[in-house]
Chains A and B, each alone.
Chain A
Amino acid sequence: SAVISQKPSRDICQRGTSLTIQCQVDSQVTMMFWYRQQPGQSLTLIATANQGSEATYESGFVIDKFPISRPNLTFSTLTVSNMSPEDSSIYLCSVEGLGQTQYFGPGTRLLVL
């Protein structure tokens, strides 16, 4: 399976600011996804990061709030914009390997004060 890293691993931010989370994979992958996991909850898909085109967002998530970049097949960023305490969550990227298997990055733990 691919080796996936995320930066930062955790952060504490003030409301109204923005944070960009990076996801790096050690091999080229076609599909990358961003999920949010609120405390004690399951994983919710934010968007599919498409290489060379705009991300595809799930219902309830919009580009202005969660802009995503995918400049190449090994890297993606997710920005959480104009943060509020409700954005406090773990943000995880995942990549699709062979046969639809998905592997997750270690996550970014965000606390918004």
Chain B
Amino acid sequence: GENVEQHPSTLSVQEGDSAVIKCTYSDSASNYFPWYKQELGKRPQLIIDIRSNVGEKKDQRIAVTLNKTAKHFSLHITETQPEDSAVYFCAASKMAGTALIFGKGTTLSVSS
């Protein structure tokens, strides 16, 4: 079955710096790759996603890139702010109607 690896497990940056979180997946049939942000005590919130027919997607300060050949995708956060501090999860799924397989998460800390 699908396996999603996520690195790093923790990431500390200064406010204004960029942060990059990387994930690799094992199943070449996976075609949908969302990123979730989970603040302490809250539910995971979808922040951005990308599909296998797209190489890059951007939404304001966040962007996701996908390399299908290498089977990896990355989350990029620019101009980080303290409110970006949270746990970020990458995930993958193969088709509509199938569940997401999650990476282990990255704890991002942004200090001011």
A-side residues, CB < 8 A to B, are 30-31, 33, 41-45, 48, 92, 94, 96, 99-107
Contacts and interface: CB of A to CB of B under 8 A. Distances in A.
Nearest to B45: A104
A21 to B, nearest CB: 14
A96 B97 contact: yes
A55 to B, nearest CB: 12
B96 A45 contact: no
23 contacts: A30-B97, A33-B100, A41-B104, A42-B89, A42-B103, A43-B89, A43-B100, A43-B102, A45-B99, A45-B100, A45-B101, A92-B43, A96-B96, A99-B51, A99-B96, A100-B32, A100-B93, A100-B96, A101-B49, A102-B46, A104-B43, A104-B45, A106-B42
Nearest to A105: B43
A53 to B, nearest CB: 13
Contacts of A100: 32, 93, 95-96
Contacts of A92: 43-44
Contacts of B45: 104
Given A43-B89, A100-B32, A100-B93, A106 B101 contact: no
Contacts of B93: 100
Interface residues of B, number: 21
Query: Which among B45, B46, B93 has the highest number of chain A CB atoms within 10 Å?
Result: B46
Interface in B28-63: 32, 34, 42-46, 49, 51
Interface of B: 32, 34, 42-46, 49, 51, 89, 93, 95-97, 99-105
A101 B46 contact: yes
B34 A42 contact: no
Nearest to B89: A42
B93 to A, nearest CB: 6
A100 B32 CA distance: 7
